[in-house]
Structure 1
Amino acid sequence: MKNHIGPAIRLTLVLLVILSVLYPLVIAGVGRFAPGGGKGETVTVNGKVVGYALVGQKFTEDRYFNGRPSAVDYNAAGSAGSNKGPSNPDYLKAVQVRIDTFLVHNPGIRKEDIPAELVTASGSGLDPDLSPAAAKIQVARIAKTRGISADRLNQLVDEQIKGPLIGLFGPSAVNVLKLNVALDALK
């Protein structure tokens, strides 16, 4: 028994140093090479931080592109989905309200043409991106509200599309905050 206690204690101490000291330091060092230096990628306008690129923002005005709905009202401290399944009556009611609201603000769009991501919340409740199709379906509303041509808005959306990671992983996406900042910069 004594032969096993010594090595077990030494192994525990070695793993404690590796996993609670060395590993976090390595991860923090790697984070320094990420956008924002590991502190998050901020979006600034005229020297003022207007949001974080990796956290969804709430845009409800007709003059802006709307992002994906949030089950936690875009509260980054409480990131979560709704945990309600597709057959839950409360969930179905919430989705129907979102569909009805979208149709009121985007006349001329048919219900079946609305991308699902515009009426269903993401798993985290903080998804900052939309598909290009979800952004482009909102162009007519914004063009009318801002008096900008739909062609120019479609071009703006195209300029904001980021492709899959290294061209292979994930779908193309548009960051809603960056798109709305670029929209405000249009003259």
Structure 2
Amino acid sequence: MAQIALKGNPVQTVGNLPEIGSQAKDFALVATDLSVKTLADFKGSQLVLNIFPSVDTSTCAASVRKFNEKVSALENTKVLCISRDLPFAQNRFCGAEGLENVVNLSDFKDGSFGKDYGLTIVDGPLAGLHSRVVIVLDANGVVKYTEQVADIVDEPNYEAALAVL
């Protein structure tokens, strides 16, 4: 378990993030068109996994906007924005914001992604949702960078995440 905070109040997650240098675990997440996407669907591309509790909060929205802007200039790189929001909410947000350089994926069905990656919040008001995490994978699915934001209301370190690409 990792201990993080929500507005300074301690909360726990189910485990620890994947280790740098390890192979990322496969996943089955739902896209905004309701298709199921797996890690294999993105093979050959560098990936920024931008993971957060809900797209309907200001910090989550800011991270999606920032990665959309920064990654658009990078070759062979995709940003996967992952939350437990329904695909309809994710699609609505990106459409309203005009965001085209991110792929929204939902872990709404069973939360297995959050459990497998050790980032599901287990207590406090956001229990069951994902903590704010950035994981960068190389084109072969090897973990190159991880960050679990110490307080969920804070933004991730964009520069550090993008520096490994």
TM-score, normalised by the number of residues in structure 1: 0.29
Q: Pick the structure with more strand per residue.
A: 2
- Using CA pairs under 8 Å that are at least 6 residues apart, name the structure with larger relative contact order, 1 or 2: 2
TM-score, normalised by the number of residues in structure 2: 0.32
